[in-house]
A and B are shown apart, each in its own frame.
Chain A
Amino acid sequence: MMTRISFILLSVAALTACGEKAQTLGTKNDATAYSGAANSFVAPGWTAGDKNSWEQHLRARGQYGQNDNSRAP
């Protein structure tokens, strides 16, 4: 009887770790940039959540805003 009780107690003690949450280091999941921002400053001209649309928008914005050689006469 004592053996059985001690076996059960030991099993319970051994299995308690199974219910614990992992304590691994690491960052929280970050949302992708193309999923958009939760504010009213989002630039128009692209669709939030559409990666291709976001990329094309940034590419066009970069070319227009930074490539002055393409605009010079």
Chain B
Amino acid sequence: MARMKFICDAERCIECNGCVTACKNEHEVPWGVNRRRVVTLNDGVPGEKSISVACMHCSDAPCMAVCPVNCFYKTDEGVVLHDKDICIGCGYCSYACPFGAPQFPSQGTFGVRGKMDKCTFCAGGPETNGSQAEFEKYGRNRLAEGKLPACAEMCSTKALLAGDGDMVADIFRNRVVKRNKGAEVWGWGTAYGSKQAGQAPAKVEGVKK
């Protein structure tokens, strides 16, 4: 298996926030913490585009690089996870992340930042897989249950794809070919270092528009 990746297809996302709801419900995420959110560009203007954003589990994750207590680790499947027992809530990862993924609970004493919380690709944390301790700290471990992330599985238009990088790229490639458009895919280049992503669509010779 390659590594786990997310793709959000901006041509399909209808800003329903089903992914956000699925995530919050699955992991019982507290108020004020949004592991996933939908961002709309040119909201209300014809041709507006929406994208579902969360931790992209970057190949070379900047959060891991800046963490002063080294609480991050990467699984064999390329999922970037962290240990809340080590996190000191300094917020460096929040500044380093290009996707705004790290979240900090704001309950409790005024001005006190709690332990960082972020999307786990539904892979839990360092506690025993599927245990109550893991659920309380990190939410469900769907990967260990043989399932894919809840946000992608719940997406009604299949705009949000999650899973093995080869598989999701293949699904997206098919769509792009059918649409006769370029391989522009939001966040892919930033997260996984693809030079092709984010470029203007290449003109295909011999194809009438």
For chains A and B in complex, what number of residue pairs have CB atoms within 8 angstroms? 112
Known: A38-B128, A62-B167, A67-B171. A25 touches B144 (CB 8 A): no
**Contact in complex: B152, A54 (CB < 8 Å):** no
Known: A27-B71, A28-B83. A33 touches B148 (CB 8 A): no
Interface: A45 (CB within 8 A): yes
User: Which chain A residues have a beta carbon within 8 Å of chain B's beta carbons?
Assistant: 25-39, 41-43, 45-46, 54-55, 57-59, 61-63, 65-69
Q: Which of B73, B130, B140, B145 meets A43, CB within 8 Å?
A: B145
**Contact in complex: A36, B171 (CB < 8 Å):** no
**Contact in complex: A33, B126 (CB < 8 Å):** no
Query: What's the minimum C-beta distance from A50 to chain B, rounded to whole angstroms?
Result: 11
**Contact in complex: A33, B143 (CB < 8 Å):** yes
Q: Which residues of B contact A54 (CB under 8 A)?
A: 146
Q: Which residue of B lies closest to A39 (CB)?
A: B130
Known: A33-B77, A37-B141, A69-B178. A62 touches B126 (CB 8 A): no
Q: Which of A27, A30, A35, A69 meets B86, CB within 8 Å?
A: A27
